Amino acid sequence: MTSKPYRLGESFGHAIDRSRRVNFSFDGKQMPGYAGDTLASAVMANGQRVFGRSFKYHRPRGVVGLGSEEMNALVGVGEGSRHEPNLRATQVELHDGLVAVSQNRWPSLSFDIGSINNTLSRFFPGGFYYKTFMWPQKFWMSVYEPFIRRAAGLGKAPDGCDPDTYEHIHAHCDVLVVGGGVAGLAAAEAAAASGARVIICDENPQFGGWADIADGTIDGVAQSEWAQAKVQRLSEAENVHVLSRTTCVGHWQHNSLILFERVADHDPALLARGTPRHRLWKVRARQVILATGSIERPIAFANNDRPGIMLAGAARAFLTRYGVAPGSSGLVFTNNDDAYQTALALKQAGIQVRVVDSRSHVDSQLPTTARKAGIEIMAGSAIAAVESSFGGLDVTGVKVAPYRKGSGRVITETRIECDFIAMSGGFNPALHIWCHTGGKIRFDEALQSFRPDTHHDRIAAVGAANGTLALGGALNEAYAVGEAAGKAALPKSKAARPKVPKALQEVQQALESLWFSPATGKYNEGNKHFIDFQNDVTAADLELAQREGYESVEHTKRYTTFGMATDQGKTSNLNGLGVLAEATGKTIPQIGITTFRPPYTPFSFGSVAGPMTRQLFLPIRRTPIYEWHKSQAAQFEPIGQWRRAYTYPKPAEEKQASIAREILAVRNSVGLLDASTLGKIEIKGPDAAALLDRVYSNMFSTLKIGRCRYGLMMNELGFLIDDGVTVRLGEDHFLMHTTSGGADRVSAWLEEWLQTEWTDYKVFVTPVTEQWAQFAIAGPKARDVLRRLDPDFELSNEAFPHLSMKEGHLGRYPVRVFRISFSGELSYEVAVPANLGRGLWDEILTAGQDFGITVYGTEALHVLRAEKGYIVIGDETDGTVTPVDVGLDGLVSKKKSDFIGKRSLEQSFLKRTDRKQLVGLLTEDPSEVLPDGAYAVQEVKDKPPMEMIGQVTSSYFSPTLQRSIAMALIQSGRARMGETLSFPLDGKVVKAKIVDQVFYDKEGAQLNG
């Protein structure tokens, strides 16, 4: 690459501070730059044009745009865990020590092996992915996917955990102005004059938009001077919040918007001081004003992607803002007047320049000025070819041919030497945010683009975003809309309205659409007219998609991937529509436009997560005994938001051994379980019993005071949603137990029915899960332990039988004791106010010492209940299982006329006898434990598909029975009792016999003992 003096003299580059040099590295190469530079301008000032390789063809690419519309120069910035991929080099502000790398190239930028795809491009047509990777199917995993993954993918993810902090801010304002160019500043000033609270944001570090590169004056001063004065005034105003480096990424219903502020990316010193790196603003605005400006269109000419070909506005900005010359000899290719300003600026900088204008007559003011300045204008011409050095690394010249709209072939051509091209195909209003929630747009013939039409929300567009490109019109519009927005917020404000300043600007001649510039050769062969640079979609690809029948623009988009890259089609969208329109003989409005979706530009995951990470990600619920569990080195498992002890291994004890020890202790002596997470809901009122009769499948109004009953809860579809034991504490007072994970859901469920269906019921539903600590003391010695705690507590089988409850004192502890069992053993559940929980827990342990009391965890609990064939909601049920399916028909009342789910159970589908039914399984090899979810098949075959007839729902090794046990839902399971089923697993087939699911103590002797 050349080492020409790309940095111009001091009269150019107002954004950079030449007294502050900064050093940075790009692809490992140390480079100098100035404070105020962007990565793009600094690298270009160092004489380098290539920033990356394209996605599909791996063609070398340089900077095309000026800001967020940049599609080629995507870079990774930062190192290690601070690396951020896919940033636009045009938006990365330079700081000392910045480390950036190019992406999508291997092994280096100037030589890339993947560029062989370019040579092979006739084998990579539109829809390539769909056509090539179709068959054979087995190639997917082994060949195609690894290939696509290696070839694709922009950038790489950072290593390690993000060390920085991120913030969320919820803000409300009367008026949000998006975009801080001249129109945005004018609208903000007008809105703020009424006293309304205004937020104005701009994605750039400096406000003013294109003011510094646009002609014309406001109140006699240059646009940029006017803009800087306005920003100053606005930032001093108390009712205005000015946010730079802040992109509005999306608009949602009821004027809710997200702004993405890059707080510290530009200054590592801020990060070091603990400033959040990014900040996400969730703004709710009464009125939104979009002053998002417009995006310049590239032109589709042959090989329009060579490094050194950029948008005219961008070329002008590099020159005037950063003092960087795009090259030494240039060509401006345009279909409008605006690009003549670029020609004039280049001329002024002493750079040789010609203008190629596709319009046949150009005689408005700007071209006339250009002519007078000695710039050659080739009207009625277009670029037919771009010549470049080997590998396409830069531009060495162009071929210019006469152009007349509608004519397809190039006959004569003139060769012109140049090393860069500034192109302008017109301007598209940036409609993205307008369209996010369904704003309507219409096609504007003069702009040859879409502009905002109507919107159902309180949102308006002004200036270039509204298609008003001329300065005077934009100012009038912005002040009027701003004033109206301010008034809408504060209708009684008597503040003086600001005077609309006077604008002076040359009138521009209308543009002429130019969607395709024909190339040398009969069929444009060997030439690529890029439409979507980032996804390497050419005009030919779009036409091919049309020929292959992808007529809808949404189909064309997905088939060719046009507009689907990280730039979301900012520069490509309309050009693509133009090509499609010409190819089909339709108009652009007939073709239609693809949907704009948030975000406008990518924003960081860190900002989305904000402070909700690590311990703030999700609250954790702990029982009163949590600290004790921790002190015993318990292994924990999450159950909903709870952390429950899974098992308590002794030092050097294996997990499985520890679980077995806990189970056997319950079976042979006594165990203690912290069951505090069990859902508890108090139901009180004259209609409490009636409510329970409605929500449970079995009867509760007949339950006697002081007795407990196991209940099943269905939804209206007849499927099980919860179960548990409910206790009658008094005539109008019940205590319902739910599953640990279901407590919140069930109390909300009861509330819903009370509020919306049985609104005349007098019942209070009060969740009391956390008010009580609850422990299960289970095992043959359970009664002995309780007696040791309090010899006066009546525990005899007669006075305190199974499924009953006693309220009283155990020693000094006020308790409710329930004789209920989930283990199948003699079992008491003791509930005590939560603040007394730990004290009672310790006393139970002391009292049980002589009986070898063993604390058991949730895994032992599950094995114990499986040995007894008890179901667990969520294991044996999956939302499509009825009480009949699990064999609990006995708990479905035949007496009650109505309860939730009753009518659905009568539907023929749920009455079929070939539904999956719960059964027990015993494997032929008693040491073989079936995996959870293993499928039973009708017949084992060499390979799938095999007809599946059911699946394992719970499976354990039972230490009590010294063999494996399982429960399963099997088609017509109960009729198959005794049959042997086959479970094909990876590399083997396990056989198991269908048995009753109660494996232990079928008679319940232990339970009632």
Partner 1 sequence: MLIVHCPVCGAEGDETDFHAAGEAHIRRPATLDPEHISDEQQRDYLFMRRNPKGLHFERWRCDRGCGKWFHAARDTATMEFKAFYLATELPPRELMEQATGEWVTFFKDKLKAAKTK
* Residues forming the site for partner 1 (CB under 8 A): 252-254, 256, 284, 437, 456, 716-717, 748, 751-752, 755-759, 897-898, 902-904, 907
**Closer to partner 1 by Cβ: residue 143 or 748:** 748
Beta bridge partners of 275: none
**Closer to partner 1 by Cβ: residue 3 or 756:** 756
Residue 452 corresponds to which amino acid? P
- Which of 952, 940, 958 shows the shortest CA–CA distance to 1001? 958
Output the smallest distance, CB 761 to partner 1, in A.
11
Residue 42 near residue 139, CB atoms below 8 Å: no
**Closer to partner 1 by Cβ: residue 29 or 440:** 440
Q: What share of the chain is helix, strand, coil (3-state, %, to 5)?
A: 25, 30, 45
**Closer to partner 1 by Cβ: residue 845 or 910:** 910
Backbone angles phi, psi at 126, to 5 degrees: -55, 140
Output the smallest distance, CB 174 to partner 1, in A.
15
Output the smallest distance, CB 589 to partner 1, in A.
21
**Closer to partner 1 by Cβ: residue 752 or 932:** 752
Backbone angles phi, psi at 754, to 5 degrees: -65, -40
Output the smallest distance, CB 191 to partner 1, in A.
21
Which residues, in sequence order, are CB contacts of 980 under 8 Å at separation 6+?
924, 991, 992, 993, 994
**Closer to partner 1 by Cβ: residue 716 or 807:** 716
Q: Where do we find the tokens 């507009």? A: 563
Backbone angles phi, psi at 326, to 5 degrees: -70, -15
Output the smallest distance, CB 253 to partner 1, in A.
5
Residue 801 near residue 1004, CB atoms below 8 Å: no
Work out the angle at residue 883's Cα, subtended by the Cα atoms of residues 882 and 887, and round it to the nearest 5 degrees: 120
Output the smallest distance, CB 719 to partner 1, in A.
12
Going through 403-560 in order, the beta strands assigned E by DSSP cover 414-417, 420-424, 427-429, 441-444, 449-452, 459-461, 503-504, 530-532, 537-538
Output the smallest distance, CB 897 to partner 1, in A.
5
**Closer to partner 1 by Cβ: residue 51 or 719:** 719
Going through 445-561 in order, the beta strands assigned E by DSSP cover 449-452, 459-461, 503-504, 530-532, 537-538
Output the smallest distance, CB 437 to partner 1, in A.
8
Say if residue 536 is exposed, middle or buried (CB neighbours under 10 Å; 0-12, 13-18, 19+): buried
SS (H, E, C) 278-300: EEEEEEEEEEEEECCCEEECCCC
**Closer to partner 1 by Cβ: residue 716 or 924:** 716
Output the smallest distance, CB 477 to partner 1, in A.
25
**Closer to partner 1 by Cβ: residue 327 or 718:** 718
Q: What one-character-per-residue DSSP string does 925-985 give?
A: STTPPPPTTPEEESS--SSS---EEEEEEEEEEETTTTEEEEEEEEETGGGGTT-EEEEEE
Strand bridging mode 948-958 / 935-937: antiparallel
Output the smallest distance, CB 898 to partner 1, in A.
4
Residue 316 corresponds to which amino acid? R
Say if residue 5 is exposed, middle or buried (CB neighbours under 10 Å; 0-12, 13-18, 19+): exposed
**Closer to partner 1 by Cβ: residue 654 or 757:** 757
- Which of 51, 59, 49 shows the shortest CA–CA distance to 114? 59
**Closer to partner 1 by Cβ: residue 756 or 927:** 756
**Closer to partner 1 by Cβ: residue 253 or 613:** 253
What is the maximal distance between C-alpha atoms in the chain? 115
Q: Where do we find the tokens 């230490």? A: 959
Output the smallest distance, CB 212 to partner 1, in A.
36
How far apart are the C-alpha atoms of 104 and 52, rounded to whole Å?
Answer: 7
End-to-end CA distance of the chain: 93
Q: Is 561 helix (H, G, I), strand (E, B) or coil?
A: coil
Output the smallest distance, CB 690 to partner 1, in A.
12
**Closer to partner 1 by Cβ: residue 108 or 755:** 755
Output the smallest distance, CB 250 to partner 1, in A.
10
Which residues, in sequence order, are CB contacts of 866 under 8 Å at separation 6+?
954, 956, 958, 965, 967, 999
